[in-house]
Amino acid sequence: MTAFDPDRLRHEFPALDQEIHGKRLVYLDSAATSQKPRAVIGALSAYYEHDNANVHRGIHELSRRATVAFEEARGKVATWIGAAESAEIVWTRGTTEALNLVATAWGLDNVGEGDEILISALEHHSNIIPWQLLARRTGARLRYIELDEQGRLVLDDLSSLLTARTKVVAVSHVSNALGTVNPVAEIAAAAHEVGALVVVDGAQGAVHTRVDVRELGVDCYAFSGHKMCGPTGIGALWARRDLLEAMSPYQGGGEMIHIVGRQESTWAEVPHKFEAGTPNIAGAIGMGAAVDFLAEIGMDAIQAHERELMDYALGRVGEIPGIRIYGPGSLDERSAVLSFTLGDAHPHDISTILDAEGVAVRAGHHCAQLVMQHFGVSATARASFYLYNTKEDVDRLVEALGLVGSIFA
Ligand SMILES: Cc1ncc(COP(=O)(O)O)c(C=O)c1O
């Protein structure tokens, strides 16, 4: 692809080419899941139509082809986030499973009574609950990095939150509820001073920005295919090979073993040690195709486009009487998420009225109830943008919000 052109890009996404309630669909819910380009849908169909077979087990041609495509996709994802080798990518169902994998497989062996787990009040529930479960199982204590009035992490007292007992620090790269971009490299450096493991929820990170896990200096990075133009049900955990090798398996079954005995067994090499059972082969191939798609456009171009769009959206939405926008004021600290409330209108009512105008936004707590509690609200409405959105989409949002304003005035 040549110059970045969201109008042209939009036509690569068949689901965007439709009317909802008689109006052109304006899809502003990409933080929940992105739409899929033809290249990804085509890769899924091609796999099922020509190469469908189980991986790693068969000698026949289809199995060979499926295995090659599956492992090639792993390599693409590894390169995409700057991993040292493809063996550092473990396929998972998504970010949630990747985080549960670390909290369970690493956590149960390395966290004990009286130890501390440091997370933040900005986290998606999938980066809270696995650590709560680990704390409950081990007697460890869960501690929190708090938020300021703009929904940024308060890091002034980070050194007092990190102690010799801190075994793991788990934070998001980018908040799904507010769009806050966290300084993960800075947090990782401080956490490593006390010898803690650094786990990053990258569900909203690798989607919008170029990620190099080694530059970030983190230990684990979890992300989902469906938020970055790929299929649902597939994602990945990146961790360094030595860390993966030292970790116990997460689930037991086929594919993850080397030799099985009656009482004891030995494990396959990483990453297969963590991939029990038949994997989501089509999903992995689809995620590889999504990486190809995004790489061809270029993450820097995507990020620049989203920044321009957010600048425009913050300005236009910010002028609406009664609007309250949550999250950082500076574009440098915020990604493509616009969380807001409008007067006394319940976010569910906002979303329903916008839907009638063909504008899809999310309303609710966004799986981030601690963030809602911080701002003293039960829910917000959230418009989230991606590479295929345009200023015209923002105008449609603003127009529809005008209608909400007139109903609730
Ligand atoms: C920041 C963040 N973390 C984790 C998740 C969970 O991702 P998944 O549902 O793909 O496992 C999401 C999904 O919305 C998210 O936005």
Label the pairing between strands 197-201 and 220-224.
parallel
Nearest ligand 1 atom, CA 366? 14
Q: How many domains does the chain have?
A: 2
Q: Whose CA is nearest to atom 7 of ligand 1?
A: 95
Q: Whose CA is nearest to atom 14 of ligand 1?
A: 32
- The two three-digit tokens of residue 321, written as one number: 């009487």
**Mean pLDDT score of the chain, rounded to an integer?**
97
Tell whether 201 and 288 lie within a shared domain. Answer: yes
Ranking 47-51, 358-362, 405-409 by mean pLDDT, the lowest is: 405-409
d(CA 293, CA 295): 6
Nearest ligand 1 atom, CA 94? 11
- Contact predicate 34/228, CB 8 Å: yes
Q: Quick check: 408 pLDDT over 90?
A: no
Percent residues over pLDDT 90 in the chain: 97
User: How far, in Å, from the CA of 3 to the mean position of ligand 1?
Assistant: 31
Last residue of a domain, one of 260, 295, 330: 295
d(CA 403, CA 297): 36
Q: Whose CA is nearest to atom 12 of ligand 1?
A: 203
Helix (H) / strand (E) containing 200 = strand 197-201
Q: Quick check: 51 pLDDT over 80?
A: yes
**Omega before 6 cis (within 30°)?**
no
Tell whether 134 and 249 lie within a shared domain. Answer: yes
Cβ neighbors of 262 (< 8 A, separation 6 or more) are: none
Answer yes or no: is 408 within a domain. no
Give the three-state DSSP class for 242. Answer: helix
Tell whether 192 and 329 lie within a shared domain. Answer: no
Q: Quick check: 201 pLDDT over 70?
A: yes
Ligand 1 surroundings by CB, under 6 angstroms:
94-96, 124, 126-127, 172, 176, 201, 203-204, 224, 235
Answer yes or no: is 323 within a domain. yes
The helix, strand and coil proportions of the chain, stated in percent and rounded to the nearest 5, come to: 45, 20, 40
Q: Quick check: 1 pLDDT over 80?
A: no
Predicted confidence at residue 140, as pLDDT, reads 98
Predicted confidence at residue 3, as pLDDT, reads 79
Measuring CA to CA, which residue among 308, 314, 302 is closest to residue 228? 302
> What is the mean pLDDT of the segment spanning 48-65?
94
CATH number at residue 390: 3.90.1150.10
Cα–Cα–Cα angle for 233, 333, 93, rounded to 5 degrees:
10
Q: Return the sign of the alpha-carbon dihedral for residues 268, 274, 277, 283.
A: negative
- Give the domain extent around 90: 41-295
Give the three-state DSSP class for 299. Answer: helix
Answer yes or no: is 232 within a domain. yes
- The two three-digit tokens of residue 381, written as one number: 């409405």
Give the three-state DSSP class for 3. Answer: coil
Tell whether 172 and 160 lie within a shared domain. Answer: yes
Q: How far is CA 149 from the centre of its chain?
A: 24
Tell whether 195 and 226 lie within a shared domain. Answer: yes
Cβ neighbors of 55 (< 8 A, separation 6 or more) are: 63, 66, 67, 70, 71, 278, 279, 281
Predicted confidence at residue 356, as pLDDT, reads 98
pLDDT digits (tens, 9 = 90+) for 79-125: 999 999 999 999 999 999 999 999 999 999 999 999 999 999 999 99
CATH number at residue 169: 3.40.640.10
- Contact predicate 381/350, CB 8 Å: yes
Answer yes or no: is 409 within a domain. no
33, 90, 124, 131, best to mutate for ligand 1 pocket (most atoms within 8 Å of CB): 124
Tell whether 220 and 114 lie within a shared domain. Answer: yes
- Contact predicate 312/393, CB 8 Å: no
Tell whether 254 and 118 lie within a shared domain. Answer: yes
Give the three-state DSSP class for 247. Answer: coil
User: How far, in Å, from the CA of 397 to the mean position of ligand 1?
Assistant: 24
Tell whether 77 and 146 lie within a shared domain. Answer: yes
Mind giving me the DSSP string for 60-120?
SHHHHHHHHHHHHHHHHHHHHTT-SSGGGEEEESSHHHHHHHIIIIIHHHH--TT-EEEEE
Tell whether 201 and 321 lie within a shared domain. Answer: no
Answer yes or no: is 26 within a domain. yes
Cβ neighbors of 184 (< 8 A, separation 6 or more) are: 171, 173, 198, 200, 216, 218
User: How far, in Å, from the CA of 25 to the mean position of ligand 1?
Assistant: 24
Measuring CA to CA, which residue among 95, 105, 162, 163 is closest to residue 133? 105
Q: Whose CA is nearest to atom 9 of ligand 1?
A: 96
User: How far, in Å, from the CA of 180 to the mean position of ligand 1?
Assistant: 15
User: How far, in Å, from the CA of 321 to the mean position of ligand 1?
Assistant: 32
Q: Which residue has the tokens 């005008």?
A: 402
Percent residues over pLDDT 70 in the chain: 99
367 a catalytic residue: yes
Tell whether 61 and 95 lie within a shared domain. Answer: yes
Q: Whose CA is nearest to atom 15 of ligand 1?
A: 203
Last residue of a domain, one of 278, 295, 312: 295
Tell whether 310 and 289 lie within a shared domain. Answer: no
Tell whether 75 and 97 lie within a shared domain. Answer: yes
pLDDT band, very low/low/confident/very high, at 49 (cuts 50, 70, 90): very high
Q: Quick check: 409 pLDDT over 80?
A: no
- Contact predicate 397/359, CB 8 Å: yes
- The two three-digit tokens of residue 111, written as one number: 């966290």
d(CA 228, CA 218): 21
30, 33, 96, 211, best to mutate for ligand 1 pocket (most atoms within 8 Å of CB): 96
Measuring CA to CA, which residue among 175, 165, 211, 169 is closest to residue 190? 169
Last residue of a domain, one of 261, 295, 329: 295
Nearest ligand 1 atom, CA 93? 11
Candidate list 154, 325, 367, 398, residue with the active-site label? 367
Q: Quick check: 2 pLDDT over 60?
A: no
Nearest ligand 1 atom, CA 201? 3
